[in-house]
Amino acid sequence: MMELKKIIREAAPDYVLNVYRRLRRSLATAKLAAPVVQIYINDGDIETIAGFNNFVSFLAASVKTSGKLRITLWNSDGGLLLLETTSMDHFESRFVDIKSLLVNKGKQSDFGMISLLFVPDNLRSETYKKLGLLASHFFMFYRGSKGAVAMVHPTSTLDYGSPPSGQFITNQVLDTVGLEGVTLYQCNPSQSSHAMTLGLQDAETQGVVCSQTVILPPMGVRKLSFSIDPAIAENIKTLRVFTSSLPSASKPMLCRRYSGGRFSMSHS
């Protein structure tokens, strides 16, 4: 094939090659990244609101952009719950209660994974091509029963060919003052099961404070909760999250819990 292309390039006049290149560029589509994924939680203590938006409108505001939003939800064991496509207008944004969305479809799930892909209607627009790789980033809003709130960006992409990653230690430091517990949510956006150990270590000595080993099913999510005993907080000032390995580049989502139902959440 390479030899044939070389022969054609050498034999064809420049104006013919230029016409061919312009035609090829006009027929090519904008490049879309793999769907981004995030973890939703509806366990009675925390509920999730998904913030969707036509982000291409904001990147190319002078071009009126409509498109299709493809939403997929899985339960914690990787079972497919919902696959929905909806239209989005120029500059449109939506806030969707995940629990209500599932209830309307006759489904129920305490937590799991959601993916999103926005596809502009005119994928061959030169404006979209100039934007480079279009990644459908969206934000998740978590609200606790006691009024605490958190906003988190996507955790990973749904790239089935992405290989597992090695050991991971977060660069975030958890201050143990007032800390009552830590909950980790780990997703597996791949088609293979993945065994891993997650836990907390002393940020200074790297000694393991607590850990759990889990097997993540394909497209599944696992929740791991660790209580912070007052004795731990008294002797250890700071903690870090560690994992033995990661299924792709998907780092665990970290929920720090304090008294009175307060929490903060971020990717570790």
Give tens-digit pLDDT for 127-141: 888 888 888 888 899
Q: Which residue has 């990717």 as its token pair?
A: 267
Q: Which pLDDT does position 226 carry in this prediction?
A: 96
Enumerate long-range contacts of 4-12, CB under 8 Å, 24 or more apart.
Answer: none
The residues that bridge with 254 in the sheet, in sequence order, are: 184, 266
Angle ∠(52,70,32) on CA atoms, nearest 5: 90
Q: Which residue has the tokens 């498109």?
A: 67
Q: Contact at 8 Å (CB) between 202 and 236?
A: yes
3-state class (DSSP) for residue 24: helix
CB atoms near residue 45 (< 10 Å): 15
Assign 174 to helix, strand or coil. Answer: strand
pLDDT at 91: 94
In the structure, what pLDDT confidence band is assigned to residue 16 with cuts at 50, 70 and 90? Answer: very low
Q: In the CATH scheme, what is the code of domain 36-157?
A: 2.60.290
The pLDDT value recorded for residue 58 is 85
Q: Are 241 and 206 in contact (CB under 8 A)?
A: no
Whole-angstrom distance, CA of residue 236 vs CA of residue 238: 6
User: Per-residue pLDDT averaged across 135-164, rounded?
Assistant: 85
Q: What is the pLDDT of residues 180-210, one digit of tens each?
A: 999 999 999 999 999 999 999 999 999 999 9
pTM: 0.86
In this predicted model, what pLDDT tens digit does every residue of 95-135 receive, in sequence order? 999 999 999 999 999 999 999 999 999 888 888 888 888 88
Instruction: Compute the average pLDDT of residues 60-75.
Output: 93
Q: What is the mean pLDDT of residues 72-100?
A: 95
Residue with tokens 């790239």: 159
**pLDDT number for residue 268:** 80
CATH number corresponding to 168-267: 2.60.40
Neighbours of 207 (CB within 10 A): 9
- Res 13: pLDDT: 67
- How high is the pLDDT of residue 158? 85
Lowest mean pLDDT, pick from 9-18, 33-42, 109-118, 159-168: 9-18
User: Average pLDDT over the chain, rounded to whole?
Assistant: 88
**263-267: strand order across its sheet:** 221-227, 179-187, 253-258, 263-267
In terms of DSSP bridges, do strands 194-202 and 179-187 run parallel, antiparallel, or are they unpaired?
unpaired
Domain ranges of the chain: 1-29, 36-157, 168-267
